A and B are shown apart, each in its own frame.
Chain A
Amino acid sequence: MVSITTKQLPDGKPNFVEESLYEVHKKVHPRAVSGTFASWRWALVWITQLVYYGLCWLPWNGRQAVLFNLVERKFYIFGLVFWPQDVIFLSVLLIISAYSLFLFTAVGGRLWCGYACPQTVYTEIFTWIEQKIEGERNARIKLDAAPMSARKLWLRSAKYASWALLALWTGFTFVGYFTPIKSLWDSVWSFSLGPWETFWMFFYGAFTYLFAGHLREQVCKHMCPYARFQGVMFDPDTLTITYDTERGEPRGARRKGLDPRSIAKGECVDCGICVQVCPTGIDIRDGLQYECIGCAACIDACDQVMEKMDYPKGLIRYSTEHAIEAHWGWKEILGHVVRPRVMVYSAILGAICVAFVWGIANKASLRVDVIRDRATLAREVEGGLVENIYRLHVINVSETPHRYAISVTGLAGIDLIGDRIVEVPAAAARTLTVQVRVPPESGRKGSNQIFFDVKSLADEKVAVHEKASFLQP
């Protein structure tokens, strides 16, 4: 993905610039970092990836616990089964995610980007692999610059192969959320994988490889829409990664243990480590920039340097614009968390969450659609009765099979011909045709309202009272 292009410099000499897939840029070789926030990031990597790679293997009631079965058009999430009719829940879930993002951003800045975004998480994993195989930052820079040799070829192949394996596994897992993963696994080994499953596996895998291995910070800088509008959610009380300019400047190198005031300098020793660890390659000392994904790597790095210098930690720290201006401590910062913007986001989010949980808890376990037969409007049958034909679509949304009794009311002498009992397996639907007969003197000419009652024989509460119209000629 990396090509070399030449660019004319003003003096006419060609200048070799590395051009990656996206733009002319300097390749970022982030230096490994350890510390409090690095541990948090790794904790999130483990949690999110254990869930992602593991959840699809979890069984539940003899099926996959979480499966978005596209062929059956049913989404299984543990005990819940969602049908296309339940799309409202998906929409509400998306709204909840959006509001959570707004709330977290208003309070803690780009917490999502820094810790939980798949782009960050996979980049973290891929960088770790790179570091294990090619060595630390300096070794990698050297290797990049070195001409091709047997060693370089071996290291590069090992790195790319490891990335590819992980990416392929990620792609396989992705498809395993849409096609039962156990049968998918079996078909991999019996070489009977469907063409589209194979395609999506490689498609998703290839994009994981490209995004986490090669594009990395460029995805955040050039492709992520959130990075562009996250600033709207920020206010002067939002926690961001901040360099304390007042304390740090004027920066400069010095011997250890020297009091910065005695040499008329700030506490920044200008070691540049904060820049080296930055996955997006920016200098946080230039102030808050949209490229900063809030990963806090520079905080960990700077704290270690401050410790070595015997200076207090926190030259780069989580702080707010107001806090830096007014020299607030944590108590004042936390005191400003509750503010109108945060309260509004929280109130809306809380209300939607309550509605969502209530909706899920009260989700109907039986659904009935009544469709009047389009071919015949009404006809006279034996005994002078008038007959209308309906198609009942009975959907058992629950996880247990049910037998339902069907009855019809609404007109004098109304009766039902055909199945009065219908058995529907768990999470399945059945369509049946029923004839409804009414004496000709019943009701008025034209459309009359009638009701279908579908009741579970096992549980009276599982019942649907559905309106329909009966046509009297």
Chain B
Amino acid sequence: MLRILWVLWPSFVVAGIAEGIFFTVVDPQELYLFGHPVEFSKIATYSIGFFGFWAVCAASSMMTCLLQISAREVNKGIGAHGGTEGLS
């Protein structure tokens, strides 16, 4: 459980920052999706953008979490079960 939140929470915070910076600089109406101008409402574009950022950041956090598992834990197979026992 703790590990899921380690992934979701920091990525949420960073996605918020990324969203703010990105959409300050870029007007959603200037965006193109597969070669066509984005036709969603601005609020929709902002929202989808936020979840996109969140997903990307979460993927990064997930990888960090994966690489943090020590050799001993990998050998014991703790990481494979996603358990947190023995980690704290």
Contact = CB atoms under 8 A, between A and B. Distances in A.
B5 A199 contact: no
Given A22-B1, A222-B2, A196 B27 contact: no
Interface residues of A, number: 20
Nearest to A85: B24
Given A70-B42, A71-B42, A84-B24, A200 B47 contact: yes
A196 B43 contact: yes
B27 A84 contact: yes
Interface string A166-186: 000000000000010000000
A199 B27 CA distance: 22
B1 A21 contact: yes
A22 B2 contact: yes
Contacts of A343: none
Interface of B is mostly: helix
Contact of A73 (B27, B47, B88): B27
A223 interface: yes
A199 B46 CA distance: 13
Contact of A197 (B24, B43, B88): B43
Interface size on B, as a range, is: 10 to 19
Contact of B2 (A23, A87, A196, A197): A23
B43 A223 contact: no
Contact of A23 (B1, B25, B43, B46): B1
Given A73-B27, A199-B47, A223 B42 contact: no
B25 to A, nearest CB: 7
Contacts of B13: 225
A22 B1 CA distance: 6
A87 B13 CA distance: 19
B44 interface: yes
Interface of B: 1-2, 5, 9, 13, 24-25, 27, 41-44, 46-47, 84, 88
Given A23-B84, A70-B43, 17 more contacts: A22-B1, A22-B2, A22-B5, A23-B88, A70-B42, A70-B46, A71-B41, A73-B27, A73-B42, A84-B24, A84-B27, A90-B24, A194-B41, A195-B44, A196-B43, A196-B47, A199-B47
Interface of A: 19, 21-23, 70-71, 73, 84, 87, 90, 179, 194-197, 199-200, 222-223, 225
Q: 7 shortest A-B CB distances, which residue pairs?
A: A196-B43, A87-B24, A71-B42, A196-B47, A84-B24, A223-B9, A23-B2
